A and B are shown apart, each in its own frame.
Chain A
Amino acid sequence: AQKITQTQPGMFVQEKEAVTLDCTYDTSDQSYGLFWYKQPSSGEMIFLIYQGSYDEQNATEGRYSLNFQKARKSANLVISASQLGDSAMYFCAMREDGGFKTIFGAGTRLFVKA
């Protein structure tokens, strides 16, 4: 069965520093995709970055990068040069390529300090 684990309920980071949000996953499929979403206090879920299980390079999107370690089944999100607007909940999610259901972890709340 698919499962996503985010072990950090809350994280603090100083503005302009980098932060890593942890995500581990479990699946028996070889082909799947991993996603990260941001949910500010306003409530909308915003897609940030995608990594396919067969992608050889780690995904990057602006200040977001995904540290993908397939053997360890981890897909950590790295945010560089944190900004106050990065304060939000962050969710790791996975979808098996043969399926349609995206499952989510419990999330990590990030606080960026000025």
Chain B
Amino acid sequence: DTGVSQDPRHKITKRGQNVTFRCDPISEHNRLYWYRQTLGQGPEFLTYFQNEAQLEKSRLLSDRFSAERPKGSFSTLEIQRTEQGDSAMYLCASSSQGRNSPLHFGNGTRLTVT
């Protein structure tokens, strides 16, 4: 179990630029999630994949956000035309199926939009 890995750990970008984050889940897990966490708050759900299918997107995920999980392995989250309000920690998590399966989180990508 190598854990969930996310890249990069930190990203500083200027307003209006596009950014892309990558997540490699635990290999046996077919469920993959993206969450966003701002300072002092709990993680907010953004989107969910079961294998390669994106089954739900939060209303928080505007049309500037897109996520993919080709071939049901790694996932990418892209933010186009970044805004200062996008500054946050973006967390990826994976889990197996099963009612008692917890989320296994990566260390996150901290995005700062200047």
Contact = CB atoms under 8 A, between A and B. Distances in A.
Contacts of B89: 43
A45 B103 contact: yes
Contacts of A95: 99
Given A43-B108, A100-B31, A91 B43 contact: yes
Contacts, number: 54
B51 interface: no
A106 B45 CA distance: 13
Nearest to A46: B105
A26 interface: no
Contacts of B107: 43-44
Interface in B1-54: 31, 33, 40-45, 48, 50
Chain B interface residue count: which class?
20 to 34
Contacts of A102: 33, 45, 103
Nearest to B107: A44
Contacts of A91: 42-43
Contacts of B103: 35, 37, 45, 47, 102
Q: Give the interface SS of chain A, mostly helix, strand, loop or mixed.
A: strand
A101 interface: yes
B48 A101 contact: yes
A111 interface: no
A104 interface: yes
B43 A52 contact: no
Given A4-B42, A102-B33, 10 more contacts: A35-B103, A44-B108, A45-B91, A45-B105, A47-B102, A91-B43, A101-B48, A102-B45, A103-B45, A105-B42
Interface of B: 31, 33, 40-45, 48, 50, 55-56, 89, 91, 93, 99-100, 102-105, 107-108
Interface of A: 4, 31, 33, 35, 37, 43-45, 47, 50, 52, 91, 93, 95, 97, 100-107
